[in-house]
Amino acid sequence: IKLDKPQIMPNEIGWNIYLPAESKDFKKLVKKISKALEKFIDQKAPRAFLSTKWEQSNKFYGHISVKGGDKKDDYENLLAKIEKEKFGFDFPKNIICDTVTVANLQNDKWEKVKTYKLQR
């Protein structure tokens, strides 16, 4: 997976500062996993299929979240501070992803369900 420098993605409720994550088949893999996990979703839960619908759409962007917030926060100033950080490597940066973690959104926080090791 190739990570690029931090970017801002405004959304309906606020914003997300993230590192874009791309690879040749990354979106296909996410879509496949997302579809497989749909049968385990509690259909009565609020926003039950919000993530899977997004993950399977053309609007999905692979990323690693750095920080999110609401519209009242000054995200441009925060991004400028993040860009000044010395992470110890230059972007773009290639990484190897060897696990996938399934998480459940509870009270607007992600809780780990299980981590799976990927085969190479």
Cis peptide bond N-terminal to 92, omega within 30:
yes
Q: What per-residue confidence (pLDDT) applies to 119?
A: 82
100/13 Cα distance (integer angstroms): 27
Q: What per-residue confidence (pLDDT) applies to 10?
A: 85
Q: How many residues are listed for the chain in this entry?
A: 120
Predicted confidence (pLDDT) per residue in 36-54, tens digit: 988 888 888 777 788 889 8
Instruction: Please tell me the pTM assigned to this model.
Output: 0.72
Q: Would you state the structure tokens that stand for residue 111, as one six-digit string?
A: 């809780």
Backbone angles phi, psi at 50, to 5 degrees: -60, -50
pLDDT band at 31 (very low <50, low <70, confident <90, very high): very high
Instruction: Locate all alpha helices (DSSP H) within the chain, ordered by sequence.
Output: 26-37, 50-55, 75-84
Task: Report the percent of the chain where pLDDT is more than 90.
Answer: 19
47/38 Cα distance (integer angstroms): 13
Per the CB < 8 A criterion, the answer to whether 100 and 118 are in contact is yes
Strand partners, 99: 117
